[in-house]
Structure 1
Amino acid sequence: MKKPIFLLVVILIIGFTTSAQEMTCADFKIGQFYIPEDMANHTIVSDDGKSELKSKRDPATKKYIVLREKNTQIEWKNGIGNGNPEYEIIEWIDDCTYRLTYDSTKSELDEGKQWVNENNGIVVSKTKIENRCLYYTATMTTNDGQKISQDGIICKE
């Protein structure tokens, strides 16, 4: 009789610890994160069809570090304190979706960042959470109707 009770207790403990480790969207709202992959591929959808766009990225950039508080984030290339950070504003749409724009009060925006802001920013939506990483699709709909999207990953440190 003691063996089945002991076995049941062990199974329950394993079940609770396994489910307790599952991450949710809330785990990605505040903290330190990194973006591990090359994020230079974009898809553009317009009335004329669909096309792929590959941006040039500095080959020395291995990953981005992201410091996020509830409504702001700072991105650093290759580590905190390296170069000029990018300051961004987060507007939460729901627990797993937010709009990202660049913060012009903290740094001067180049033409590309101004264009993103003028086109209502980038909407980031969760596609799945696996291990300590959130997979997402980032989409921007331009004022002339083009949709630019990019799939990516952000991982919790």
Structure 2
Amino acid sequence: MVLADSIYSESSKYIRKSTKHVEWSKPGDSIYANVKYIDDCNWILTYDPRLNELDEIEQLINASGGMHLETIEIRRDTLFYNGILKNDTLTFVQPGSILKLK
């Protein structure tokens, strides 16, 4: 699958199996995350600190309880979502899309 959002114009690819998510934008540049499904259209993504050296944004996401991804619409092979980061001092919404590759 291909993932893109409003902040990162360059897309990345990812594979998700059960509750594990591996994402990369170029070979050898992998990001490992954990997925907790709320329901069929919503999930929470947190970064795995055992497998990644977390940058400041990834640390903030984990400290805030994860990035809540909320499905907005599905058209053909594309899922449109809002990534929502919320904590005591911040609410940030980041739209994006996921394209399923065959």
Whether TM-score is above 0.5 comes out as yes
CA deviations 1:52-78 (Å, max 9, x no partner) are xxxxx5xxx742001111201111104
Q: Which residue matches 1:131?
A: 76
Paired with 1:112 and 1:62, the residues of 2 have a C-alpha distance of 17
Normalised TM-score (structure 1): 0.60
Larger radius of gyration: 1
More helix by share: 1
Q: Which residue matches 2:2?
A: 34
Paired with 1:143 and 1:38, the residues of 2 have a C-alpha distance of 24
Paired with 1:38 and 1:130, the residues of 2 have a C-alpha distance of 16
Paired with 1:38 and 1:117, the residues of 2 have a C-alpha distance of 19
For structure 1, the residue ranges without an aligned partner over 5 or more in a row are 1-32, 41-56
Aligned length: 101
Paired with 1:87 and 1:153, the residues of 2 have a C-alpha distance of 19
Paired with 1:153 and 1:141, the residues of 2 have a C-alpha distance of 20
Does residue 77 (structure 1) correspond to residue 25 (structure 2)? The answer is yes
Counterparts of 1:55-94 in structure 2 under 5 Å?
A: 62-78=10-26, 82-94=27-39
Paired with 1:121 and 1:143, the residues of 2 have a C-alpha distance of 13
Post-superposition offset of 1:112: 2.0
For structure 2, the residue ranges without an aligned partner over 5 or more in a row are none
Q: Over aligned residues, Cα RMSD in angstroms?
A: 1.6
Post-superposition offset of 1:38: 5.1
- Structure 1 ranges of 4+ moved more than 3 A: none
Does residue 122 (structure 1) correspond to residue 67 (structure 2)? The answer is yes
SS at 2:61 equivalent = helix
Normalised TM-score (structure 2): 0.89
